[in-house]
Every structure is written in structure tokens, then in C-alpha cells.
């Protein structure tokens, strides 16, 4: 006599329900998100590709729009250096060609950026460098590595060029970095690749301004031997540029805000003044011609 077989018990739960099993999910970012949110996701969501895509999209928007409150920061710091910075990160992620069509990869990156923004600490998001971001995204996409570790590694490599000095700034609720370097003069510009590296570097720092230095070719003979100091805020936007010579207390040809044709906004004048004082350049002169020279602190008033 042949025994009957209960086929229901021989068929996997995934087949019974029509849901995917975890081992059948090949996308690395998708698997990472399922594991990261395993206490929040049920199988009826992650086992259904369309439901999971919708969930990931909503979670990305939730992280983008969240109020990253901290008991150790004031309201301006929370609004401008936590919440606004995260929105800038989210916008950059959404615009990136490797991210925008994959909600799981987008969420993986943004989750890494917000990971340490807790209510009981005073941490801020990573400072944005759009050039480093693109390289980090490419490496993470290729290797499946941690975005934060990759970004920090590439950031340090990118800004480790021998003649670049980086000064961190946090003043009056504004956070960012000053990058200081010298364009090689005629004698040293013939060194292999040095002038090109410096020109490319200045061009990268100048993006999102209307400065001529956005184009490497604009950094021509008129700039050889000159000192550059560029302040880039935490959202990756260049806000101040000082060009000239630091010698003998300083004489500068240009000191411009993000819009070179408009006065420097008041909120960045304190950033400029504190930098000049720190570098002992507060007695410097500025002007495009000898007849137009004025004390540098005059433009900080």
C-alpha cells in the first residue's frame, strides 16, 4: 500500500508563498539593505521585489528628510550642519549615474553617511567633496566595500598632495575647510606633472562658483607663483577665494566670494577675517592694480 504524501510540507515556504529566498537575491546592495534592516523588514516585503523597491525608496526619503536632533548642538547647528548637509548628500546621491536607478545602492550610501548622527553626540556628516564622491561611488559599486571607509580613504589620498595645507573651520555655525597651495612658478613648473596637478586641483575646488579657475586652462601665466587659499563649506560649495602672494605680510590680487561679481556675504566675512588673522595676513593689501590697493580687513567689514 502506497502512503500518501503531504506535498505542502515538502515545498519550501518561499515557493508556497511565491516570495524570494535570500540566497536567490544577487544584488549586493539589496542584500546589504535586507541584512541591515532585518529587524524592520518582514519576508512579505523583502521577498517581493516590487514591495522592497518601494520600501527602500521610502526609507531613503525618510533619512533625507529626518530631523537629526542632538542635545549637544544648538538649533542652527542642527538645521544648517546636520539636516541641510544630509539633504545635500541625498541630492548628490540621487544625481549620480551609478546610484539614481538603484534604490538599494542609494539607501546603502545615505545610511552610511547618517550612521553616527545620534541624539547624544555632536557629530556632523562627512564634508562633501564631489570629486572624491564620484570616485568612492565607483569603487564601492565595483567592490561592494563600505562607503564611509572608502570615502575617507580617497578623501585623504586626494588632499595629500605635498604642497596643500588643509585647515578645518567651524565658526558662527559655518563648517568647512580652507585649502592652501601655491601654483608653481616658471622655474618649477617644468617638473613632471606638477603644474597640471595643481591646476586640476584648483579647478576641482572652484566648481559651483563662477570663478574663471573652474577651468584648468584659465590658471595660466598670470597665476604662476601665486598663493591660493580656497574655503569650501561642508556641503562642497566654494565660498571664498584668496589669490596673490603671502610674502611680506601678503599682497593679494583677488579676494572673492562664491559670486565674484557680488560683495562677499556677511556670514562669510568672519570666516575670512579669522583665516587672515590665523595666517598672520591681516595686515595684507588687496587690489588688482597698485592704485587700487586697500587694507585686506576693509573687505571684512
Domain boundary among 97, 129, 155: 155
The 3-state DSSP class for residue 245 equals: strand
Whether residue 94 contacts residue 141, with contact meaning beta carbons closer than 8 Å, is answered with no
Looking at the structure, do residues 134 and 166 belong to the same domain, yes or no? Answer: no
Q: In this structure, is residue 134 part of a structural domain?
A: yes
Q: In this structure, is residue 127 part of a structural domain?
A: yes
Q: In this structure, is residue 75 part of a structural domain?
A: yes
Q: In this structure, is residue 1 part of a structural domain?
A: no
Nearest of 42, 84, 37, 35 to residue 64 by alpha carbon: 84
Domain boundary among 155, 180, 205: 155
Looking at the structure, do residues 259 and 206 belong to the same domain, yes or no? Answer: yes
Looking at the structure, do residues 70 and 118 belong to the same domain, yes or no? Answer: yes
- Across the beta sheet with 251-257, the strand order is 165-171, 174-182, 227-233, 238-245, 251-257, 285-286, 294-295
Looking at the structure, do residues 219 and 82 belong to the same domain, yes or no? Answer: no
Q: In this structure, is residue 168 part of a structural domain?
A: yes
pLDDT at residue 10, as a whole number: 43
Q: In this structure, is residue 43 part of a structural domain?
A: yes
Q: In this structure, is residue 281 part of a structural domain?
A: yes
Looking at the structure, do residues 100 and 225 belong to the same domain, yes or no? Answer: no
Q: How many CB atoms lie under 10 A from the CB of residue 245? A: 15
Looking at the structure, do residues 27 and 144 belong to the same domain, yes or no? Answer: yes
Looking at the structure, do residues 120 and 237 belong to the same domain, yes or no? Answer: no
Domain boundary among 102, 130, 155: 155
CA–CA distances in Å: residue 73 to residues 52, 62, 70, 85, 268: 35, 21, 5, 15, 21
The one-digit pLDDT tens for each residue of the chain (301 residues) are 444 434 344 445 556 667 898 888 999 999 999 999 999 999 999 999 999 999 999 999 999 999 999 999 999 889 988 999 999 999 999 999 999 899 999 999 999 999 999 999 989 998 898 889 999 999 999 998 899 999 999 888 887 765 789 999 998 889 999 999 999 886 555 555 778 888 888 988 998 899 999 888 888 888 999 999 999 999 999 999 999 999 999 999 999 999 999 999 999 999 999 999 999 999 999 999 989 999 999 998 8
Looking at the structure, do residues 130 and 115 belong to the same domain, yes or no? Answer: yes
Looking at the structure, do residues 62 and 191 belong to the same domain, yes or no? Answer: no
Looking at the structure, do residues 15 and 130 belong to the same domain, yes or no? Answer: yes
pLDDT at residue 204, as a whole number: 86
Q: In this structure, is residue 2 part of a structural domain?
A: no
- The number of domains in the chain is 2
pLDDT at residue 93, as a whole number: 97
pLDDT at residue 54, as a whole number: 97
- Cell numbers placing 245: 602672494
- Model-level pTM? 0.77
DSSP, residue by residue, 195-239: HHHHHHHHHHHHTTS--GGGSGGGS-GGGTT-EEEEEEETTS-EE
Q: Give the domain range for residue 24.
A: 7-155
Rounded Cα distance, 227 and 217, in Å: 17
pLDDT at residue 7, as a whole number: 36
Looking at the structure, do residues 286 and 183 belong to the same domain, yes or no? Answer: yes
pLDDT at residue 191, as a whole number: 56
Looking at the structure, do residues 244 and 295 belong to the same domain, yes or no? Answer: yes
pLDDT at residue 198, as a whole number: 87
| Helix, strand, coil tally for the chain in percent (to 5) | 50, 15, 35
Amino acid at each position: 500500500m502506497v502512503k500518501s504524501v503531504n506535498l505542502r510540507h515538502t515545498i519550501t515556504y518561499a515557493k508556497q508563498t511565491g516570495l524570494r529566498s535570500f540566497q536567490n537575491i544577487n544584488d549586493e546592495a539589496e542584500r546589504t539593505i535586507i541584512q541591515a534592516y532585518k529587524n524592520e523588514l518582514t519576508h512579505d516585503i523583502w521577498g517581493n521585489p516590487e514591495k522592497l523597491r518601494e520600501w527602500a525608496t521610502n526609507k531613503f526619503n525618510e533619512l533625507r528628510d529626518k530631523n537629526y536632533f542632538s542635545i549637544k548642538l544648538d538649533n542652527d547647528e542642527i538645521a544648517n550642519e546636520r539636516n541641510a548637509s544630509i539633504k545635500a548628500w541625498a541630492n548628490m546621491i540621487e544625481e549620480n549615474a551609478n546610484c539614481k536607478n538603484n534604490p538599494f545602492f542609494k539607501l546603502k550610501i545615505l545610511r552610511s553617511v547618517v550612521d553616527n548622527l545620534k541624539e547624544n553626540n555632536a557629530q556632523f556628516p562627512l564634508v562633501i567633496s564631489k570629486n572624491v564622491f564620484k570616485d568612492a561611488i565607483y569603487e564601492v559599486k565595483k567592490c561592494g566595500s563600505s562607503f564611509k571607509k572608502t570615502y575617507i580613504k580617497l578623501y585623504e589620498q586626494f588632499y595629500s598632495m605635498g604642497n596643500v595645507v588643509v585647515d578645518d573651520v567651524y565658526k558662527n555655525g559655518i563648517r568647512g575647510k580652507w585649502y592652501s597651495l601655491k601654483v608653481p612658478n616658471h622655474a618649477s613648473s617644468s617638473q613632471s606633472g606638477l603644474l597640471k596637478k595643481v591646476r586640476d586641483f584648483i579647478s576641482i575646488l572652484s566648481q559651483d562658483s563662477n570663478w574663471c579657475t573652474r577651468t584648468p586652462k584659465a590658471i595660466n601665466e598670470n597665476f604662476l607663483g601665486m598663493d591660493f587659499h580656497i574655503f569650501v563649506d561642508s556641503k562642497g560649495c566654494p565660498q571664498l577665494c584668496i589669490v596673490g602672494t603671502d610674502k611680506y605680510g601678503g599682497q593679494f590680487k583677488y579676494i572673492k566670494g562664491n559670486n565674484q561679481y557680488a560683495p562677499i556675504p556677511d556670514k562669510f566675512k568672519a570666516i575670512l577675517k579669522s583665516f587672515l588673522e590665523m595666517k598672520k595676513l591681516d595686515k595684507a593689501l588687496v587690489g588688482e592694480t597698485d592704485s587700487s590697493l586697500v587694507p585686506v580687513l576693509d573687505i571684512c567689514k
